[in-house]
Amino acid sequence: MREQLLIGGKWIDGSNSDRIDVTNPANGDVITTVANGSPADVTAAVEAAAAAQVEWAKVGPRERAEVLRACWQTLIDHADELAELITLEHGKPLADAKGEVGYAAEFFRWNSEETVRIHGSMSVAPSGNNKIIVRHPPVGVVTMVTPWNFPAAMITRKLAPCLGAGNAAVIKPAGETPLTALRVADLLQGAGVPDGLINIVPTSNSGDWFDAAVDHKATRMVSFTGSTEVGRILLRRCADRVLKVAMELGGNAPLIVFDDADIEKAVEGTMTAKMRHSAETCTAANRIFVEAGIAGDYTAALGEAMAATKTGNGLEDGIECGPMINERAISSISGLVDSAVSEGATVVTGGSTLDGAGHFFEPTVLSGVSPTAAITHEEVFGPVAPVITFTDHDEMIGHANDTEMGLAAYVFTEDLAKGLATAERIEAGMVGVNRGAMSDPAAPFGGMKQSGLGREGASEGIYEFCETQYIAASW
């Protein structure tokens, strides 16, 4: 296990003497402690990154691509070890953690292929007198701030294209999950990433950490994944230096089931969209709209599937839902369930916390939820499925879009034309039609409205980490 800061290719304790406890949410035990980065450590990391980036940008795309390919290989070779580490500090079931490692690694393979295809262009100005040359140099030093819900993938989804494009990174993993971040960085260094390109500085003081990163003149970009609330704070701070930003923020995904849907497939898709990774995903189905004709049967089947979900320590065999990340999460989930019930919802299954040392909540289905209930306006971030019945399609679409978020949405119907037409009317960056999972490094991930700015993955992902330079030339 790596428990120090990684700055300029060296593992150091940093200038703070206190350390950060990392706990196992399944039982509350302290797993270990990690070094606690100070603003001075952040400054040192930005400087190391700046020095390394200048050399890295001179390395040819093919050679950079081959380093990325080696990064993919090493993450795959260490998948079991990394998955256990993710489950230990995050709590998600081991099978989900393995899925996360595969997804995390794939960003390196995909971006190794994109690295040699960062295209520019040349065109002739309309006057015919000038040539317009456009190129995409690296942006420089990138600050990354990442959440705890995907301790590996939320880093690699940024880091792979960042390195591929010729940049360096200074990374703040979430305080709850620094161990995976540190071990991933360790493996990537071992795979041949030059010293100084990846700096990992956990901290217990995010605000001061971020100020030190933003105030350094070498920092050129901030790439953030986390809540919309924190995203707004970071955006305001980035304005002081007019930094380039990429923001992957919160979600409030509607999941729509039309009455011509195949109930079995719709329930299976709902379970995937709701429950993967212990129901702590930004794309999680948060509001389930079911057409009246199918609502009774669908809700009963969903209730059975949720009631049968095995909840417990993610390291144990057969567990399908692990603990929530901390006690704050549990009280937020309980509060939302209680408020839905006080607004008239019925508990079909679950509804309570589970006793014991860990932070567990029962897989829960609520029916008869009002489309305007408090629970429909907030990200539940837990195993709770609020079911809302609809009859009028336009009214339902109005409710589905009545949120400041616009990350993900899901539609289930046996009529593909209806599914696609509905997808077009939903204000979300990603819509699954008869699919409960859509994350794919080859597809553009990101949100509309207050769910974010920019896209990760696909071909556009690497350009987020590039500048655009136009050279006017005539000859």
Please identify, among the stretches 38-46, 205-213, 305-313, 463-471, the one whose residues bind ligand NAP according to the rule CB under 6 A: 205-213
**Assigned token pair, 357:** 């040392």
> CB under 5 to 8 A by kind: which of ligand NAP, Mg ion, none does 23 bind?
Mg ion
Decide if residue 407 touches ligand NAP (CB under 6 A).
Answer: yes
Please identify, among the stretches 45-53, 103-111, 223-231, 312-320, the one whose residues bind ligand NAP according to the rule CB under 6 A: 223-231
Residues in the chain: 475
Nearest to 360 by CA among 317, 387, 301, 320: 320
Q: With beta carbons less than 8 A apart as the criterion, state whether 205 and 18 touch.
A: no
Nearer to Mg ion, 176 or 320 (CB): 176
Pairing of strands 408-412, 430-433: parallel
Per CB under 6 A, contacts with ligand NAP among 132-151 are: 145-149
> CB under 5 to 8 A by kind: which of ligand NAP, Mg ion, none does 191 bind?
none
Per CB under 6 A, contacts with ligand NAP among 231-260 are: 233-234, 248-251
Q: With beta carbons less than 8 A apart as the criterion, state whether 445 and 248 touch.
A: yes
* Residues annotated as catalytic (active site), given as ranges: 248, 282
Nearer to ligand NAP, 24 or 146 (CB): 146
Name the one residue in this structure whose structure tokens are 């509804």. Answer: 351
Nearer to Mg ion, 89 or 291 (CB): 89
Query: Backbone phi, then psi, for 359, in 5-degree steps?
Result: -100, 80
Nearer to ligand NAP, 350 or 452 (CB): 452
Q: Which residues of 317-348 are buried (b: 16+ CB within 10 A; e: fewer)?
A: eebbbbbbbbeebbebbbebbeebbeeebebb
Nearer to ligand NAP, 325 or 345 (CB): 325
Minimum Å gap between C-beta 31 and ligand NAP is 16
What are the residue ranges of helices labelled H in 343-445?
Answer: 393-400, 416-425
Q: With beta carbons less than 8 A apart as the criterion, state whether 11 and 5 touch.
A: yes
State the residue number with the nearest CB to ligand NAP.
226
Decide if residue 210 touches ligand NAP (CB under 6 A).
Answer: yes
User: Please, what is the Cα angle at 161 between 465 and 110, to 5 degrees?
Assistant: 145
Decide if residue 174 touches ligand NAP (CB under 6 A).
Answer: yes
Q: Supply the DSSP symbol for 443.
A: S
List the one residue from 100, 114, 176, 291 that touches Mg ion (CB under 5 A): 176
Please identify, among the stretches 84-92, 167-175, 185-193, 224-232, the one whose residues bind Mg ion according to the rule CB under 5 A: 84-92
Minimum Å gap between C-beta 410 and ligand NAP is 16
| Count helices and strands in the chain by DSSP H and E runs | 14, 22
Decide if residue 413 touches ligand NAP (CB under 6 A).
Answer: no
Q: With beta carbons less than 8 A apart as the criterion, state whether 456 and 475 touch.
A: no
Minimum Å gap between C-beta 25 and Mg ion is 5
Decide if residue 206 touches ligand NAP (CB under 6 A).
Answer: yes
Please identify, among the stretches 48-56, 90-98, 121-129, 204-212, the one whose residues bind ligand NAP according to the rule CB under 6 A: 204-212
Q: With beta carbons less than 8 A apart as the criterion, state whether 432 and 289 touch.
A: no
What is the CB neighbour count within 10 angstroms for residue 264? 10
Nearest to 7 by CA among 29, 35, 26: 35
The contact set with ligand NAP (CB under 6 A) reads 145-149, 154, 172, 174-175, 206-207, 210, 225-227, 230, 233-234, 248-251, 282, 379, 407, 447, 452
The contact set with Mg ion (CB under 5 A) reads 23, 89, 176
